[in-house]
Structure 1
Amino acid sequence: MSRDRLPAPLPTLLTANPVPAAEPGDEERLAAIRVAVDTRRALTAAPVHSGGGLLRALLTGRRLALLAGLTVVAVSVPLGITIAGPGMHDRGEDGLITAAVAADGTLSCGGVHEGYAKPIRPGQSKVRLFPTVVPEGWQLVDVFARDSTGPAACITPSLVASDLDGQGVMRGGVSVSGPVDRISFEDGGVQPVPAPVRVDDVLNGRPAVRYEFSRDDTVDYSWIWADDRGKHWQASVTGYPLDRAKELMTAVETDGNQVFWAAGKAPDLRVVHQRTGRPYPAETSFQNWYIRFNVGGRERTVSVESDRLVPLAAELRTGLRLRELAGQPEIDFSGQIYYEPQAGIRAIAEVEDDADDVRAMLAGLRQLSPDDPLLGRYALRE
């Protein structure tokens, strides 16, 4: 099974790994490994002093502690569902982007663009979200930040259209990635069980390769095809039988580097993300911000990523619900809450039996000023 097909949120965890494939003798990678190990060391919990009374969460009656001495900059940015391409446009030595096609028809970057992460001082981070409230029994330990890069063109969809019911539950959808200049088909290696079916097909009048991938009593379909310029596109359809999936794909149109959705051909679906401007680069830059807690002797970490290329709504999966938290999008994955406090930023928090407390803590995240004393007080010593 390809890493892109791992159940959510495992792909996110894999992407967050700062050194996914280190090689002995590579000093830069070894240094990065050391950073990764240091940031996972045993907790040395620092107590959080509460003051100013108690703040009652909107979503729960349990007690929450208000952090004393907190100076915040309010975050109030309307959610946008269309995000333009990033600033990095390095396409490699030959100026071309090559993507590998996994056994289930998804695109991956192979070992060409693995990404990296290096530590930065918390005050230098663009995102400095800090909890104004903390659930009872939680202790804020530290915060730390990373400057990171990761693959973009081969894994980021350029278009996502979803069918949501009246409660925000996704019944099915279409995701389109591309264009990429070259593709290679992965053969051999570990195969999913049951193995995906790969057949030649015709899609919207063009020769294509179709993949059928069975999971959870459903079948997902994906297609790979080339446009008039020889650039390659990939599309996945979930939640529908093959005949309906091909009908939905008639709504997908490409013109040069852009992909469009002909809404009249699929009125039940709405576009939740559409790339504008230049194609995604091979790699993109972003920052990671981490808030670490001690909860009954266990580490709990809230991770935040900036410069997201797609809105949270584009990460919804069939059967999951898009909700609102403090007026902003939220998705409940298995054991985690994904939250978008503002456009281009995603926060992920682990949930056990305290989902309401976690939601109240996420809703209370506020941006600190870069010189706030709390950043110095709680910055990870590294």
Structure 2
Amino acid sequence: MRSKHMGEFKNKIQTIYIDPPYNTFSIKSYQDSINTLEWIEMMKLRLIESRKFLKETGVIFISIDDNEYANLKVLCDEIFYKSNYIGTFITNQSKRSNAIHINTTHEYILCYAKNKNKTKKFEVKRIDIPENKKLFKKLNSIALELVKNNSLEIANQKFKKVINDEVKNSKQTWLKNYSNIDENSRIYFAMDLSTPNNPKSVSIPQINLNLKPLKSRGWSSDKKFIELHKQKRLVFKDERPYSKKYLEEATDNAQSVLNFFSRQGTNDLKKIGLAGLFDTPKPVELIKFLIRISTNDDDIVLDYFAGSGTTAQSVYELNLLENRNNKYILIQTKEPVKTNTSVFKKCVDLGINPYISDILLFRINKFIKTKDYDLEYI
């Protein structure tokens, strides 16, 4: 964190994600545990530096478990101030702790802002929530078949029944708004285009739109109607205009309990041929989720406990999937892998120097080659 290269990034980092040592004495392949007082001092110094690097809109996410959660919370309250505490995510874990009394199947991610009043709202697309993916796939498949085999009017009638049944079964009441399908089989919410203004008529010859005044409300601006027309999002029901908001655009506030299981991180390495190269890699989808809710397209992400490089892969994937231009900075000490462990043997088999930093670089390069990513350095 005190690298001579980092000075230029003070007040420029939007999101910091770190996965520090948990102090559990349970990791076999590398040093995960130190004296608690030493751990507190180590974290305090790094968190003080972290705050200096964050933009005024910036946030920090810190993964931790029960062992040091209380100490970490006290430190963050002191350094970032209680008023900038955003909340704590609880992540479900697939592994059980096999404790005598309570099997622990969760971890935490603490979140603090540099200035909570300037931090963006944490919104997530519903389609990116893991438990929604099967539902969205099913509904899109049904919509496609209905439009293919029926008139659009009949298809919509049948789809409304599908949505009503789904709301009853899944209890996801927000779905009831998304009961329309268009000629391209896309599911949408017909959003009202009236506004709480004085009644007025609308006449826009260039898009052949003429609207009479409503009794007690006004209409959206001419500019908005023209833009919606260009985007082919203007739809009429009973001679009244509405705007299409597609199902894949539906958003919700981030929820505190996240279903990103630890085995997903292991599978992420397996997908690129690196199974067994790290003991506890975080899931790529988890870090992508955190980056999505906290950054804009050109922001910088910092991870100074870089470990296996999940943060790097997450930024790469988001850039590819969403045409972003996010950048990342990773910091990892040249920490040795313990000998006589499966990770050490894997390093030898792959020709990797048995250090965490070398594993990190190997993973990044392997992913880049797999995805044919155009790498640029900042």
Shared fold per TM-score greater than 0.5: no
Q: What TM-score results when the alignment is normalised by the length of structure 2?
A: 0.22
- Structure number with greater CO (CA < 8 Å, separation at least 6) is 1
Who wins on radius of gyration, i.e. which is larger? Answer: 2
Q: Which one has the bigger strand percentage? A: 1
Task: Report which of the two has the higher share of helix.
Answer: 2
